[in-house]
Amino acid sequence: MGKFNQYLGKTEVEVDGQSLELDVKLKDMKQIMTASKDKEITEESIDKIVNTLKDVMKRSYPEEPPEELDAFVEKKFTQFMTAFAIAMGWTTKEDLDKSFREAGIDQSGEKA
């Protein structure tokens, strides 16, 4: 076993009670970071993020029907993006909780 063996595995996240093991590549992280770098989130940037997450899911779960993976990502986008950002080390649950409270919304994206 090599010194960096721990980095060979998949990224684990939990979304809507589903424990997921994602095969995340550097290109995926770059696409999401680039699409979300601006202060103002646009419809185009959301589409880029959603499409990247769909690609990650399809690569991670090739045996699952693509339309089901697409529906999962679309319906659980806020939870998915939150779990993904924490798993990537881009933020913490505490920081996200604080941001959501300050914005007056709950973590599902609905007004509190």
- Residue 39 sits at φ, ψ, to 5 deg, of -65, -35
Does 3 map to a domain?
no
By residue range, what is the domain housing residue 59? Answer: 24-103
Does residue 15 fall inside a structural domain? Answer: no
Q: Tell me how many domains the chain contains.
A: 1
Residue 48 CB neighbours (<10 A): 16
- 46, with CB counted inside 10 A (0-12, 13-18, 19+), is middle
Q: Is there a domain that residue 109 lies in?
A: no
Dump pLDDT digits (tens) for 10-64. Answer: 888 999 998 999 999 989 989 988 887 766 778 888 899 999 999 999 999 999 9
11 belongs to a structural domain: no
This prediction's pTM: 0.78
**Residue 81 confidence (pLDDT) above 80:** yes
Task: Kindly state whether residue 46 falls inside one of the protein's structural domains.
Answer: yes
Instruction: State the first-to-last Cα distance of the chain, in angstroms, to the nearest integer.
Output: 49
Flag whether 94 is in a domain: yes
* Secondary element (H or E) of residue 19: strand 18-22
Q: Is residue 34 part of a domain?
A: yes
Domain assignment present for residue 98? The answer is yes
